[in-house]
Amino acid sequence: MKVTEHIERANGKPLFSVEILPPLKGQDVNCTFKTLDPLAELNPAFIDVTYHRQEFIYKQKDNGLLKRYQVRKRPGTVAICAAIQNHYKIDAIPHLICGGFTKEDTEDALIDLNFLGIDNVLVLRGDPIKTEKNFIPEKGGNAFASDLIEQVVNLNHGKYLDDDIQETYPMDFCIGISGYPEKHFESPNLAMDMYYLKKKVDLGAEYIVTQMFFDNHKYFDFVNKCREMGINIPIIPGIKPLTTFNQLTKIPQNFYIDLPEDLAIEVLKAKDKEQIKEIGLEWCINQCKELLEFGVPGLHFYTMSNSANTKKVAEAIF
């Protein structure tokens, strides 16, 4: 079922959804099931599965030559989505990115997803890998998320890269995109970020999932700006509880967002790890309750494949 259909059928009742990481190379699907089993009890409407590009590092050997080593990564997004839908009968949504794929690769992946009965894709440009100063698109690939949206829309209309294909069967993917209440870190300002968001919606995006945030006013302002610009598709807030001291610096560093002063001060005052977790969970629960009062279409939790904290929050609010 499409995300938009889930929202319509909920009749105003907010959805619960989660995002997980595929298992690391060398692990099996049971690692994913172990993460999801506790959350499946809460009947999530859908489960996002991230995609991780292949990366390499170079190390100097004793003879002075450089040797290329593959960084351990998380493959199998398409297969994990298929396994989730088969095992739990819950809609799984793969992340579809530009980096590392030609347009032909993307078309083949979408064909596979269509055969598997997957109805949704979350379209992203993707971040630069560690060896790139700036994002570098694959030769013959899509350079921007907007290009990728156009390719999905074309397939939804039965338009393939090979114009000679006759009697094509149209696909029917529901297209999700990301939104940044505190702007994407590469955008020069929020206004420019909003301009490109509107462009993606005009091209055919049907719902937005936001980057995580800890100050609800950032989300409220973002929604208001979207509506003023004529962006009227559902905007699902992305949520993650802060549960460790290191996250005070790691979350702003990795996700380019601010943490509220009140939250940071409470964490700094905490006596031990357990108290920090309690503070973070309480903040997240209160944050979610306020969002629900605002009338959000759902709450989307970034689990980082740690289900325990997400389950505690979800049980307190749903």
pLDDT tens-digit series, residues 265-304: 999 999 999 999 999 999 999 999 999 999 999 999 999 8
In the chain, % of residues over pLDDT 90: 79
pTM value surpassing 0.85: yes
Q: Does the pLDDT of residue 188 top 70, yes or no?
A: yes
Residues 182, 221: Cα–Cα separation, whole Å:
10
Catalytic residue among 5, 8, 19, 104: 19
Average pLDDT over residues 183-193: 92
- DSSP assignment of the chain equals --HHHHHHHHTTPPEEEEEEPPPPBTB-HHHHHHHHHHHHTT--SEEEE------EEEEE-TTS-EEEEEPP----HHHHHHHHHHHH--EEEEEEESTT--HHHHHHHHHHHHHTT--EEEEE--PPPTT-SS--PPTTS-SSHHHHHHHHHHHHTT--S-TT--SPPP--PEEEEEE-TT--TTSSSHHHHHHHHHHHHHHT--EEEEEE-S-HHHHHHHHHHHHHTT--S-EEEEE----STTHHHHHHHHH-----HHHHHHHHH-SSHHHHHHHHHHHHHHHHHHHHHHT-SEEEEE-TT-HHHHHHHHHHH-
Average pLDDT over residues 207-226: 98
Among 2, 53, 55, 44, smallest CA distance to 20 is for 44
Q: Does the pLDDT of residue 166 top 60, yes or no?
A: yes
Per-residue pLDDT tens for 13-66?
Answer: 999 999 999 988 888 899 999 999 999 999 999 999 998 776 655 566 666 666
Residues in the chain: 318
Residue 196 class from Cβ within 10 Å (0-12 exposed, 13-18 middle, 19+ buried)? middle
Give CA 156 to chain center in angstroms: 22
User: What is the CATH topology of the domain spanning 3-317?
Assistant: TIM Barrel (3.20.20)
Q: Does the pLDDT of residue 68 top 80, yes or no?
A: no
Q: Does the pLDDT of residue 313 top 60, yes or no?
A: yes
Domain boundaries, the chain: 3-317
Give me the pLDDT at residue 130, please.
67
Burial state string for 272-281 with b = 16 or more CB within 10 A and e = fewer than 16:
eeeebbebbb
Give CA 280 to chain center in angstroms: 21
Give me the pLDDT at residue 76, please.
80
Q: In the annotation, is 19 catalytic?
A: yes
In the chain, % of residues over pLDDT 70: 93
